[in-house]
């Protein structure tokens, strides 16, 4: 029982770490026009197959023919539906989403903090049912938070893509890697929660065995 309890605990910690890495790169993605970061955007609009605009959590980047030319200065809770460059694609900025982006930004940081807590807490404390249970609760909450974030990102992204395409048929939209990384982090958190729970189960079973002896 001790072997399986430790195995599930270590496996859960690995999944929590993977989720942490995915969330970290999503948080810093699209912030500057540098290699790799500029590839981590939430959604992209492309006009005539050339000019494009990428949206992230902090800012927007514009470019042409697959090359990013300019990125706005990062801004917390960035409302990219009100981005001035969006007028080239949709005619006018899309308003009314300020609170949605603020909530999304706060939720993402909450999910990241919960994941960080679960990972650090699980690897820096002695293995027992209490620590496993607390880590499982943290990853479960982080999963629920990221689920809400993912829904917000998908809904807003497809809303803007739909509006731009109806305004100009030459504009095409796509979901970016940062959105799918959020989905990957969700999956990792769900698996971490399951494995932490299994670790708790086997430790409880082991404890009952000792009590009978």
Helix (H) or strand (E) segment spanning residue 185: helix 177-212
* pLDDT value of position 103: 93
- Provide mean pLDDT across the span 43-62: 90
Segments forming the whole domain that contains residue 196: 1-211
Q: Which residues pair with 45 in a beta bridge?
A: 53, 173
Cα 194–Cα 196–Cα 198 angle in degrees, nearest 5? 70
What integer best gives the mean pLDDT of the chain?
A: 84
- Provide mean pLDDT across the span 76-90: 79
- CATH number for the domain harbouring residue 180: 1.20.140.150
Name the domain count of the chain. 1
Q: What pTM does this model have?
A: 0.86
DSSP code string of 78-145: --GGG-GGGHHHHSS---S-HHHHHHHHHHHHHHHHHHHHHHHHHHHS--SHHHHHHHHHHHHHHHHH
* pLDDT value of position 210: 41
Contact, 83 vs 53, CB < 8 A?
yes
């Amino acid at each position: 029982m001790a072997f399986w309890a430790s195995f599930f605990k270590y496996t859960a910690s690995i999944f929590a770490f993977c989720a942490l890495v995915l969330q970290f790169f999503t948080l810093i993605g699209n912030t500057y026009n540098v290699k790799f970061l500029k590839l981590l955007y939430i959604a992209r609009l492309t006009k005539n197959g050339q000019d494009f605009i990428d949206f992230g959590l902090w800012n927007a980047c514009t470019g042409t023919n697959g090359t990013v030319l300019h990125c706005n200065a990062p801004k917390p809770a960035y409302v990219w539906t009100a981005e001035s460059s969006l007028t080239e694609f949709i005619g006018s900025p899309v308003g009314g989403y300020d609170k949605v982006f603020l909530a999304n930004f706060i939720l993402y940081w909450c999910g990241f903090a919960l994941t960080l807590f679960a990972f650090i807490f699980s690897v820096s404390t002695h293995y027992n049912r209490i620590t496993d249970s607390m880590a499982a609760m943290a990853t479960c909450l982080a999963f629920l938070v990221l689920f809400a974030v993912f829904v917000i990102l998908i809904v807003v992204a497809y809303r803007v893509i739909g509006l731009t395409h109806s305004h100009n048929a030459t504009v095409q939209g796509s979901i970016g890697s940062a959105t799918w990384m959020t989905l990957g982090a969700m999956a990792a958190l769900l698996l971490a929660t399951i494995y932490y729970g299994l670790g708790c189960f086997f430790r409880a079973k082991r404890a009952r065995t000792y009590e009978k002896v």
